[in-house]
Amino acid sequence: MPVDAPQKGITMSRKSFTGMLATTAVLATTLAACGQAGQSDDDGGGGDGGAAEITMWTHSAGNPAELEVYETIVADFNASQDDYEVVMESFPQGAYNDAIVAGAAAGDLPCLLDMDGPIVPNWAWAGYIQPLELDQAIIDSLLPTAVGRYQDEVYSAGYWDAALSVFARRSVLDANGIRIPTIAEPWTLEEFDAALVTLQGAGYATPLDIGAEDTGEWWPYAYSPMLQSAGGDLIDRDTFLTADGALNGPEAVEFFTWFQSLFERGLASDAGTIGNEEFNNDEAALSYTGVWNAMDSLETVGDDLLILPPPDLGTGPTIGGGSWQWGISESCDAADGARAYLEFSFTPEYIAAFADKQVVIPATAEAEELSANFGAGDPLQPFVELSQQYALERPPTPAYPVISSTFERAAKDIMNGADVQSTLNQAVDDIDANIESNDGYGF
């Protein structure tokens, strides 16, 4: 009997296999008889009188204020014409870049997508996005750091920029005899350092909230401008082929030695919380932070709040430029519609709405005047000046993602006590190896 068993099993398998073949054949025939979805309307949607769909991805999920403005623009644009219909999907910011990379792998990128300024050259080099080709008057009206370029070609444009500054209380500086810096005369490195020591002596255990508890892009955004102010940089901007000399030269070593000493002397710390709580609670005397935290501090500190320029560490103060911007994917079938939408959206009213709801710097002068916070005499106007005077975009090279993560790792190691010169040398080796393995990224 046990001998028969497998035979029966095999017989059943044969039957099943025949049945499976028949079922597959029937299914295949049925499918072949069906048409392919979308084939009857393959002219982009607009040819038969319907509106062509323009897909659009934003990083704004979980940010109702920003999302609200986008929803208004999309609704207004869709109502303004019959040729195109913009359909928006929003993603949470922390997951957005992964979604884009996956979408690109699947050949499923949307027509319109927003991206953080420094990533633009990488996505242009990778073929994710195409030259923007918006009306030149729009591009010319924007803050230079609100335009994303790669190899002299414009690939993206944004409605706003952000800026960093040093928050302080006038009463605290006055009480400790510390000069209030201005854009014309910012603190020198020596003055800034001495101010921190004085404030520590006045009872602030950690006088500067430098934001080192944060992670990711914050590190190059916040601290590479300090390095640039000191005379160093993330990469040699003449060739974009090596970081040697820029990231590990004498100026960079001197800056990072001072940066390390801030933590060693307890003038700054990587403890604390992301945001501006320590300054608002008067636990930190100075806070190196962004425009997005200004409204909360204004409410808490009131007229006593000072929005100060960052210190001049040698070659003049520098802050990072380049925030979220819009581009058109290379695979977009309705690029004209996408451009029409973008040109429609770059109006002063929408830009001012973004600026006020998001607390970011409007990218055009007209929007600045319309804004409730950033116009002449408005409380956040100093940020406009800081952005115009000191903003420097992060290196516009496809190597930036590697530069960014390498810089973060090196700066954190130095903060934690690593040898400055050897850490920077290693960072240069890592960046240069990546550039070399990618044939110079087109440079």
Partner 1 sequence: MSATTTTGAPRREAPRVRSAEAGRRGRRRKVLGYLPMVLLALFFLFPLVFMFVSSLKPDAQILGDIDSPQAFLPVGDISTDNYVGVFERVPVARFLLNSVLVTVLIVGLGVIVNSMAGFALSRLEWRGRKVLLTVIIATLIVPFETIAIPMVYWVSKLPTIVIEDGLPMYDFGWLNSYHVQIVPFIANAFSIFLFTQYFSTIPKSFDEAARIDGAGWFTIYRKIIVPLSGPAFATVAILTFLPAWNQYLWPLMVVQQEELRPVMVGMQYFFQVNPAWGEVMAYTSLITLPVLVMFLAFQRAFVSSIASSGVKG
Long-range contact pairs involving 248-251 (C-beta distance under 8 Å, separation at least 24): 248/421, 248/424, 248/425, 248/427, 248/428, 251/314
* Residues in region 272-331 near partner 1 by CB under 8 A: 273-277, 290, 292-293
Cα-flanking dihedrals φ and ψ of residue 81, to 5°?
-155, 170
Of 50, 103, 144, 401, the one binding partner 1 by CB under 8 A: 103
Q: Is 49 in the site for partner 1 (CB under 8 A)?
A: no
Q: How far is the CB of 328 from partner 1 (least distance, A)?
A: 17
Minimum CB distance to partner 1, residue 364 (Å): 22
CA atoms within 13 A on the CB side of 418: 17
The Cα 217–Cα 219 span in angstroms is 5
Q: Which residues contact 48 (CB under 8 A, 6 or more apart)?
A: 41
Task: Please pick, from the candidates 19, 94, 316, 442, the single residue that binds partner 1 as defined by CB under 8 A.
Answer: 94
Q: Is 31 in the site for partner 1 (CB under 8 A)?
A: yes
Stretch that binds partner 1, among 84-92, 125-133, 170-178, 186-194 (CB under 8 A): 84-92
- How far apart are CB 414 and partner 1 at their closest, in Å? 25
Closest alpha carbon to 317 in 148, 185, 173, 162 = 185
Binding status of residue 145 toward partner 1 by CB under 8 A? no
Interaction between residue 136 and partner 1 (CB under 8 A): no
Least distance from partner 1 to the Cβ atom of residue 257, Å: 30
- 374 near partner 1 (CB under 8 A): no
- Closest approach, Cβ 223 to partner 1, in A, equals 17
Under rule CB under 8 A, residue 106 binds partner 1: yes
Q: Is 383 in the site for partner 1 (CB under 8 A)?
A: no
What mask of x and - would describe binding to partner 1 in positions 225 to 264, judged by CB under 8 A? ----------------------------------------
Nearer to partner 1, 278 or 368 (CB): 278
Least distance from C-beta 4 to partner 1, angstroms? Answer: 8
CB nearer to partner 1: pick between 12 and 433: 12
| Dihedrals phi, psi of 113, to nearest 5 degrees | -145, 145
DSSP one-letter string for 272-317: S-SSSHHHHTTSSSEEEEEGGGHHHHHHHHGGGEEEEPPPB-SS--
Pairing of strands 129-130, 305-308: unpaired
Residue 68 in the binding site for partner 1 (CB under 8 A)? no
Least CB distance from residue 97 to partner 1, whole Å?
10
127 binds partner 1 (CB under 8 A): no
Q: Which of 22, 95, 372, 433 binds partner 1 (CB under 8 A)?
A: 95
Q: Characterize the bridge pairing of strands 305-308 and 84-92.
A: unpaired
Q: Do strands 52-61 and 84-92 pair parallel, antiparallel, or not at all (unpaired)?
A: parallel
Q: Please report how many Cα atoms fall inside a 13 Å half-sphere around the Cα of residue 35, on the Cβ side.
A: 6
With CB under 8 A as the rule, give the number of residues binding partner 1.
45
442 binds partner 1 (CB under 8 A): no
- Would residue 414 be called left, alpha or beta, if left means φ above 0 and alpha means ψ between -120 and 50 degrees? alpha
**Options 63, 78, 200, 425; binder of partner 1; rule CB under 8 A:** 63
- Own/partner pairs for 292-298, CB < 8 Å, 24+ apart? 292/162, 292/358, 292/359, 292/360, 293/167, 294/167, 294/359, 294/379, 294/380, 294/383, 295/359, 295/373, 295/380, 297/167, 298/379, 298/380
Interacting residue ranges for partner 1, rule: CB under 8 A = 1-2, 4-6, 8-9, 12, 30-31, 34-38, 57, 61-64, 89-95, 98-99, 101-103, 105-108, 110, 273-277, 290, 292-293
